[in-house]
Structure 1
Amino acid sequence: KYFFFAVILITHMLPLPIRIVPTYELMRTFGWVNTYRALTIPFFASATGTLLFRQLFMTVPPSLSDAARIDGAGPMRFLFSVLIPLSKTNVGALFLIEFTYMWNEYLWPMIVTNSNNMRVVQIGIKMLLASEAQAAEWNIIMAGAIIAMIPPLIMLLIFQRTIMEGFSLKEEK
């Protein structure tokens, strides 16, 4: 298990440009090029999530599992009744991290989409920049940048309470 964890961490250290060709080939094989699935699903397999959840589950004392077993809970009951509620903060934090990373990605959407109706907002803002023949309209570019900041801000506001509860280790009422 330590070997596989080390391999996962090594892949986490590799930047996206190194992983682009195999990931693109996989998306092409699935027939997902120029789809929303290609824009989102590759980010679900996250080494960050593996690291977060491994560290959380390593802090769960074995006596908790033993107590659940004595109470008649099997492995699936222990997972759904104990481990998943314990990991609520990690789920919120991981979702926020991955959403922000996905939202701000520029290179991957540029490669995996090839039609203008599938382009993401970051590529649209780049297209607003002027060519040499035309001056940039900075008011429109800045308005686009502000609009592009709204979805991550909304996600932060939605998950703020969950993350702050994790920091304060406050019990729910």
Structure 2
Amino acid sequence: MDKILKSLLSMQMLMFAASIIIAVGSSYILVDRVLVPRAMSRYGITESTAAVREANGGREERGEKTGTPKKPKKGSGTKSGPVSYNLPSIVVNINKTEGRRFLKTGITLEVDDAAVLKELETAGPKVTNLLIETLSAYGIDDLTEPSGKERIREELKDRFNLLLETGDVLAVYFTEFVIQ
């Protein structure tokens, strides 16, 4: 009888320890996979935004024009140097998802001269249309693969350069990239 009691007691202890481990693991998964992503999307924080904030000491820079033109190199003429231009965030449906999935993205363009900023501002609807047409043509596989994102950046750069008359887009950067 004493042996059965000890066996029963050790089994209860084992079940109690297992339930504690399951509760801790479930809590971790709930926080890591559900609550944190919801909070990040609610407040517009993406992994890239969080990395920018961390790099800037907790500050996030906003506005249409970020940074200042770099000092011109000697002998570079009248050009002011590369300048960054933030495009407004845009939401598009993802191709072949029947409207159930969408992409919210923020994009910053690095242009070769400050004069291009004026052209981008006046071409606002054309810029928005270009973004919608380009981004909504991609499927979920293209959007989740790093090589697909690089292909999108290159296509956007090429299409912006066709649109611009006064200068060139040197680089396209995703400042926000959320797939829902």
| Bin for the TM-score computed over the shorter chain | under 0.3
Structure with greater proportional strand content: 2
Q: Which has the larger radius of gyration?
A: 2
Tell me which of the two structures has the higher relative contact order, counting C-alpha pairs closer than 8 angstroms and 6 or more residues apart: 1
User: TM-score, normalising length from structure 2?
Assistant: 0.25
TM-score of the aligned structures, taking structure 1 as reference length: 0.25
**More helix by proportion, 1 or 2?**
1
